[in-house]
Amino acid sequence: NVQKLSELDKKHFLHPLTPPKMQYEQGPPIIVSEGNGIYIKDENGDTYIDGMSMLWNVNLGHGQEELAEAAKEQMKKLAFSSSFNGYSHEPVVRLSEKIASLTPGDLNVVFYTSGGSEANDTAFKLARYYWKCKGQPNRNKVISLKRGYHGVAVGSTSATGMPEFNNLVSSKAPDYIHAEPHLLECERGDKNAEHYDKSVRGIIEKEGAENIAAIILEPIMGAGGVFTPPEGYLQALRDLCDEHGILMITDEVICGFGRTGKKFGVDNWNVVPDMMTIAKGITSGYIPLGGVVMREKIRDALIQTDDVFFHGFTYSGHPTSCAVALKNLEIIERDNILDNVKNMEQVFKAELQKLEDKHPHVTKTRAMGLLGAFELYADRDKEEPFAPEMGAAFQVVDECFKRNLILRFIDWEGSNIVAVAPPLIINKQEIEEIFKIIDEALTAFENNLN
Ligand code: PLP
């Protein structure tokens, strides 16, 4: 069966974010068949630890039957109903109220999508439309951060600060500008600070605030390398936006719903954005759902006219997705998942530190909640990188995979980062199990260097 599936996969399935040639020639490295908690099983019957919650999204872990039951119950009752033309249904109303109760400030109005990319494209359209309604139609530009990841739809891929995504068949739309990330002093207004012209503030000055609709950033950068901003950075950007009347959008697709130990990433710094984009953890990946949560002032601007906001997806507010999301949020509260994340963060950090103490190439270990990473350098004291062609982070992740642990390597611009982001239901013993494997994988990697 495995051989047959593999052959059919090669022939008929073009995989996302996978080199097509490699996929066509080699087929899938794993064909997953079932999951339970932090573990998944493949078609050969081998068990793996899902150290990444798959794509930072299976936050409640695999095999949560209550989520399956919620989907089944809703499907039996009303699998789908449109929310165009003002039509509504109970799951979407209940979920919107629930989200509004969780988000900070007056982020009280939700627009739904099927995932994170659509959520970010929606936020950009909303920002531009908001300014049109406010009589400032020139406010079109969107500033985002280099190495930030926002998805692959035209707007979100343009905002993504990684050239590989923008250069693909010229997929970067005009009016998206990438700033250098985390330049705290510049954002606070120090014009003499290094790289000022590349900072968000420097770019606003150059482009003119009257031309800028919004800035977008992840509270903690995920796919770009798990980078936490310097203390005060989010507030500095909030102040900068307020100074110029620019909308602040935070992309909570990874950070949202408990990943960092708080409800949302911005809650770590008590900053309230004007819009927040959500996806992944809202359903723990059990069913696709995303959205934009906006402050009331955005909705209020839209209702000043009788015009239609010409935007909406067939699956905006899908009843079954909403029912699963509601159950997912209920479980997060009932089972005190945020407390677990906070408690496990300590174990997670201690284990990361042990790696750094023991393995000479490991450095820059970091974690916020259960969103963590470490880096590999040829000489960590001099910050001398490994030769890019070596694929050092890939090698370590591959050694982990050979030992039945799934992690993720990040090698943008010659960096060698290994991300670790297990399901939020993980316990101490399971974290130790993960790090025992990473320890062995690093030893194997080091032995290969000699
Ligand atoms: N934003 C962030 C921060 C993400 O990590 C991702 C996906 O990894 C997205 C947006 C895109 O979401 P989706 O893949 O659901 O379109």
pLDDT digits (tens, 9 = 90+) for 24-43: 999 999 999 999 999 999 99
pLDDT for position 167: 86
Residue type, 305: T
**Can you read off the two tokens belonging to residue 398?**
């591959």
| Among 443, 129, 432, CA closest to 305 | 129
Mapping DSSP onto H, E and C, the string for 140-203 reads CEEEEEECCCCCCCHHHHHHCECHHHHHHHHCCCCCEEEECCCCHHHHCCCCCCCCHHHCHHHH
Identify the structural domains of the chain with CATH numbers, from first to last: 31-63+336-449 (3.90.1150.10), 66-334 (3.40.640.10)
Question: Which residue has a Cα nearest atom 12 of ligand 1?
Answer: 116
Rounded to two decimals, the pTM is 0.98
Average pLDDT, the chain: 97
| Rounded distance between C-alpha atoms, residue 281 and residue 332, angstroms | 10
pLDDT digits (tens, 9 = 90+) for 183-217: 999 999 999 999 999 999 999 999 999 999 999 99
User: What are the pLDDT digits (tens) for 393-418?
Assistant: 999 999 999 999 999 999 988 999 99
Q: Give pLDDT, residue 415.
A: 95
Residue 68 pLDDT exceeds 90: yes
- 243-295 pLDDT, tens per residue? 999 999 999 999 999 999 999 999 999 999 999 999 999 999 999 999 999 99
- Contact predicate 32/19, CB 8 Å: no
Give the 3-state secondary structure percentages of the chain, helix then strand then coil, rounded to 5: 45, 20, 35
- Say what the pLDDT of residue 314 is: 97
- Protein residue with least CA distance to atom 7, ligand 1: 151
175 falls in which pLDDT band (50, 70, 90)? Answer: very high
* Ligand 1 binding residues, C-beta < 6 A: 55, 115-117, 120, 149-151, 218, 222-223, 251, 253-254, 279, 290
Residue 423 one-letter amino acid = P
Answer whether 341's CB lies under 8 Å from 59's CB: no
Closest atom of ligand 1 to CA, residue 288: 15
Please identify, by atom number, the ligand 1 atom nearest to the C-alpha of residue 218: 3
CB environment 128-155: b (16+ within 10 A), e (fewer): bbbbbbeeeeebbbbbbbbbbbbbbbeb
Distance of CA 415 to the CA centre of its chain: 19
Identify the bridge partners of residue 161 per DSSP, sorted by sequence position: 146
Give 277 Cα–ligand 1 centroid separation in angstroms. 10
Question: Distance (Å, rounded) from C-alpha 300 to C-alpha 134?
Answer: 10
Token pair in block for residue 326: 């509601």
Which atom of ligand 1 is found nearest the CA of 120?
A: 10
Backbone angles phi, psi at 336, to 5 degrees: 50, 50
223 Cα: distance to centroid of ligand 1 (angstroms): 9
CA-to-CA distance for 22 and 27, rounded, in angstroms?
7
Predicted ipTM? 0.99
pLDDT of 285-315, one tens digit each?
A: 999 999 999 999 999 999 999 999 999 999 9
Integer-rounded Cα Rg, in Å, for the chain is 22
From 58, 150, 255, 321, the mutation candidate for ligand 1 (largest count of ligand atoms within 8 A of CB) is 150
Q: 3-class SS at 276?
A: strand
Distance 358 CA to ligand 1 centre (A): 34
Instruction: Look at residue 450 in the predicted model and tell me its pLDDT.
Output: 76
Ligand 1 geometric centre to CA of 113 (Å): 12
What's 81's DSSP letter?
A: -
Report the nearest atom of ligand 1 relative to the CA of 279: 15
Backbone angles phi, psi at 202, to 5 degrees: -60, -40
Q: What is the pLDDT of residues 87-137, one digit of tens each?
A: 999 999 999 999 999 999 999 999 999 999 999 999 999 999 999 999 999
